[in-house]
Structures are given as structure tokens and as C-alpha cells.
Amino acid sequence: MTQPIIATMQKSAPIRVLGIDPGSQRTGVGIIDVLADGRTQHVHHQPLVLLGEESFPLRLRKLLDGLWALIEQYQPDEVAVEQVFLSNNAMSALKLGQARGAAVAACVARDLPVSEYAAKEIKLALVGSGGADKAQVQHMVGAMLGLSGKLQADAADALAVAITHAHVRASAQRLGVAERLAWGRKGRGRR
């Protein structure tokens, strides 16, 4: 008599995603695990406070050191970064761009793949509207990750970037396409 063959599903390890919301005064970081079934679990979040340094270059150094310490401690597999939005203040936009560049460089220096998402894409992924306000995004982040209490804005935005990346990854896997193709124009903004 033949025994029925029972297919066993191998559990794959969670994918750990580091989300980054760049800022020249505070950079939000949020870390989640993406489970094999697509669910997300909160791991860590915090703002990296960059103020208090003598000069802007020292703020960038503090950002690099902070991200490297988090990367070493939490060992993320992938990174998602919010893209810079245009600002009316050229100096603010320049500093934000430099902070974002430092954050991306910190991650690629550790051989981590970096994906980039526009603020409208993040809002659309979490709330269903690209015009959602920060309070709506913070509420959805808390609800999706089972967090209680008010989240610090920069850290909540970083978690939102990580969740967006998890959604794009899941869509790509379901569709059997590269992540670059999973969400419309994603191929143009990724590196």
C-alpha cells in the first residue's frame, strides 16, 4: 500500500526591512519583519535626532553612525527610503537632499539593496489616497502593526516606508515579476 505524499511547506525566514524617512534635524527609522505569508511585524522604530552638533557635516556623521549601529544591531535585509520632495526653501531642500544621500550611502556601504518611494506612493499604499494627511498615515501604521499610543511622526513615516516596500514585494511575488515592475513607475526610481 502506498503512503500519500504530504507536501510540506518550508517556512522561509522573514525579510527584515529598514524604512528611512530622511531629515536634516531628525531622521525617522522603522524596522519591520515581512513574514512568508505577507504579514508584517513591528521590530523597532525611533527618530535619530541630529540636532546639537556644531556643524551640519557633524549631523551627517551622526546620521551615518546611527544608521550603521542600527544596521549592525538589527541586520536588515533590505532598505526602503522616502524620496525627497521639492521645497520652496532651497537651503532646506539642499540639506534634506544631503541627509537623504548620507542615509542611502550608509546602507549601500553595508551592501544593502535600497528601494525608493515617493510620499504619494506611501500614502496610497497605506491609506488608499495619495493625498492622505500625516495623522491618517500614523493611524494606519499603528493599526497595521498593532501599536498603541501616538507614534513619533518621523518614526511613523519610516515605518510607513517599510510597510509600502513590504506591499510592493508581496505584489511582485504574487505577480511573478521583478519588484521594479510591481508598482507602475517603480522601475524609474529604484537603484
Helix, strand, coil share (%) of the chain residues, nearest 5: 45, 20, 35
From the candidates 82, 116, 121, 179, which is the catalytic residue? Answer: 82
From the candidates 21, 33, 78, 179, which is the catalytic residue? Answer: 21
Is position 82 annotated as part of the catalytic site? yes
Q: Which residues contact 183 (CB under 8 A, 6 or more apart)?
A: 121, 168, 171
Measure the CA dihedral 59/63/117/15, to 10°.
Answer: -170
What is the spatial distance between Cα 134 and Cα 67, in angstroms, rounded to a whole number? 24
Pairing of strands 78-82, 114-117: parallel
Is position 21 annotated as part of the catalytic site? yes
> Greatest CA span in the chain, whole angstroms?
79
What is the spatial distance between Cα 94 and Cα 102, in angstroms, rounded to a whole number? 12
From the candidates 78, 116, 121, 154, which is the catalytic residue? Answer: 154
Is position 133 annotated as part of the catalytic site? no
What is the spatial distance between Cα 53 and Cα 81, in angstroms, rounded to a whole number? 24
Active site amino acids:
21, 82, 154
